[in-house]
Structure 1
Amino acid sequence: MRFRALAALSTMAVAASVSVLAATPAQAMPLQYAALGDSYASGVGAGDYQSGNDCYRSAHAYSQQIAWQLSETLWFDACSGAKTADVSANQLSHLSGAVEHVTVGVGGNDVGFSTVLGACAGTDTALCLSVVEGAKAQIRDVLPGRLDALYSEISARATQASIVAVGNPRLFSGATCAASLAITPEEQTALNEAADLLAETTKTVATAHGFGFADPRDAFIGHAVCSADPYILGYVPGSNVESFHPTRAGQDAYTDVVLAKL
């Protein structure tokens, strides 16, 4: 963060002559933070959503907490369901050289993670593992190019910003419960491996662009679906949007991880 201070003036005459100009820095626009991405960035699962749109932007999202802690104006553009193309088309309008911080968390929807979870929620393990392998192929072969293009756009617009790409946690611990929708330990292992590949791929592309990478995986250990203190919702009956998303406590954990990288 930048801290600005006026130099001490040596005489009253000089102070009087610059008094009007000296007011300008004190009245400068507050530092700005732009939060971009998908449902994990918008705060789906944490409740208290903004009304008037279908982006499920939560008052408890990590970006809201970080903006408050940094005393920065927040451009909260993250939106549930966003893919890299959606971020490019709909979420970059507030980026400029005046933005101090940018976070971007996206990629899971590009490789169809919700579809993968749906396939694994059935009773056909072979189908689940096949769909997971398909998602991993997308992560390896397609996603890096999409992230590269998006990150280039962000860098070109937010020329003075500290930019951090934000990853996703593993969802499962190998335990089964009602909230896990009977996703077996074998299937959970495969899904966690895909989550790891997504995280490492995002980190590689982000690092190549000089971005920081906020990795929440360690912070969520012991807090997976079916744990005693879950940071991730399992299946939420009647709410496909919130199922398998971070809780309010999960967003708190994200806040600590992301803030440390800004």
Structure 2
Amino acid sequence: MRTPRFIAVAIAPLLAALLALLGAAPAHSAGPRYVALGDSYSAGLGAGSYDAASGACKRSTKAYPALWAAAHAPSAFDFTACSGATTTDVTDSQLGPVDAATGLVSVTVGGNDAEFSDVMTTCVLSSQAACLDRVATARTFIDGTLPGLLDHTYDAIRAKGPHAHVVVLGYPRVYQVPGDCVLGLSDASRKAIDAAADDLDDVLAKRAADHGFTFADVRSAFSAHELCSPSPWLHSVTLPVDESYHPTATGQSHGYLLPFTGAA
């Protein structure tokens, strides 16, 4: 005989409490389907422990997407971020796993479009004047051209994942100024590089907001842990050279994972 509906409703809370007392829990669905997009800052370049199958993308098990997935057990986890990726690469090559069932997407992108690697190479190997000029060129690109590129990529993410909660993560300032570095770039060059990073984050935050995405600002998490600080979470010039100016494993677990967890 079917139990009357009002009785079923009345005993449901009692059943849940009994299960809790017995050490069982009511069945619940798994976490959201999660897709991690982006460039080397999402792939985890610099953190080590790279997945050999990821090849030149150098996806790390210590990158914030992998750490978040291990802690939160999403129902599916696709890690398509790739070192060196631009906005075009994300749009053209990384969106395959994103679909209407995707619940969470993370992305870092824009730094390679602005050619920050070339900015750092110029600043390290050339004069202060050349450094400042190269930074100025990058800032012009960030302010004038990058917003349209981000719009195209963000539109593509939303089209593929219409129901996803999308978290756009920014980039840290590279240097603490003044800091304890006695050699290397001048403070003027370091300040200019940090100003360009701020420009980049400002554009990312604005474009994310205009698309209904959440922006996770990592600058406060990295504060006092930039280069020239007593405890940096970024590599300076190092070997392999492509890991230079990228987060260490601690930078991923503290500088990126914590802001992402708060925004996810």
Same fold at TM > 0.5: yes
Shift of 1:30: 6.1
| TM-aligned CA distance change 1:208 to 1:261, over 3 Å | same
Residue of structure 1 equivalent to 2:140: 137
How big is the shift at 1:28?
Answer: 7.5
* Range with bigger deviation, 79-88 or 63-72: 63-72
The CA distance in 2 between the partners of 1:216 and 1:86, in whole Å, is: 23
Q: Which secondary structure state, in structure 2, belongs to the residue aligned with residue 103 of structure 1?
A: strand
Q: Equivalent residue for 1:90?
A: 93
* Distance (whole Å) between structure 1 residues aligned to residue 3 and residue 241 of structure 2: 66
Q: Greater shift after overlay, 127-136 or 30-39?
A: 30-39
What is the alpha-carbon distance in structure 1 between the residues aligned to residue 151 and residue 224 of structure 2?
32
Task: Tell me what 1:63 maps to.
Answer: 65
The answer to whether the 8 Å contact 2:180/2:229 transfers is no
RMSD, aligned α-carbons: 1.9
> Counterpart amino acid of 1:88?
T
1:112 correspondence with 2:115: yes
Match of 2:3 among 10, 29, 49: 10
Instruction: Work out whether residues 38 and 79 of structure 1, in 8 Å CA contact, stay in contact via their aligned partners in 2.
Output: yes
Bigger proportion of residues as helix: 2
Name the TM-score, length of structure 2 as normaliser: 0.86
SS at match of 1:63: helix
Q: Name 1:240's counterpart in structure 2.
A: 241
SS state at 1:34 partner: strand
Aligned to 2:150: 147
AA matched with 1:170: R
Paired residues, what number? 238
Deviation of 1:226 after TM superposition, in Å, equals 2.6
What's the offset of the Cα at 1:251? Answer: 0.4
Q: Is the 8 A contact 1:176 1:185 kept in 2?
A: no
Following superposition, the deviation at residue 76 of structure 1 comes to 0.3
Q: Helix, strand or coil: the match of 1:230?
A: coil
Asked if residue 173 in structure 1 is aligned to residue 166 in structure 2, the reply is: no
Measured in 1, the distance between the counterparts of 2:103 and 2:252 equals: 22
CA distance in 2: counterparts of 1:216 and 1:93, whole angstroms? 27
Q: CA deviation at 1:123?
A: 4.3
Contact 2:173 2:226 in 1 (8 A): yes
CA drift at 1:239: 1.5
**Distance in 1 (alpha carbons) for counterparts of 2:98 and 2:165:** 12
Q: CA deviation at 1:31?
A: 3.0
Tell whether the 8 Å contact from 2:180 to 2:230 is kept in structure 1 after alignment: no
Question: TM (normalized to structure 1)?
Answer: 0.86
Residue deviations 1:72-116 (CA, integer Å, cap 9, x gap): 121000000000000011100000011110001000000100000
1:1-262 correspondence runs (5 A):
10=3, 31-52=32-53, 53-72=55-74, 73-174=76-177, 175=179, 177=181, 182-236=184-238, 238-253=239-254, 254-262=256-264
Q: 1:29, CA displacement in angstroms?
A: 7.7
Residue 67 of structure 1 deviates from its aligned partner by 1.2
**1:10, distance to aligned residue in structure 2 (A):** 3.3
**What is the one-letter code of the residue matched to 1:59?**
T
Contact 1:226 1:234 in 2 (8 A): no
Aligned counterparts of 1:76 and 1:219: Cα–Cα separation in 2: 23
Kindly indicate whether the alpha-carbon contact (under 8 Å) linking 1:56 and 1:79 is maintained by their aligned counterparts in 2: yes
**Which structure 2 residue ranges, 5 or more long, are not aligned?**
5-26
Matching residue of 1:14: none
| Distance in 1 between residues matched to 2:153 and 2:113, nearest whole Å | 13
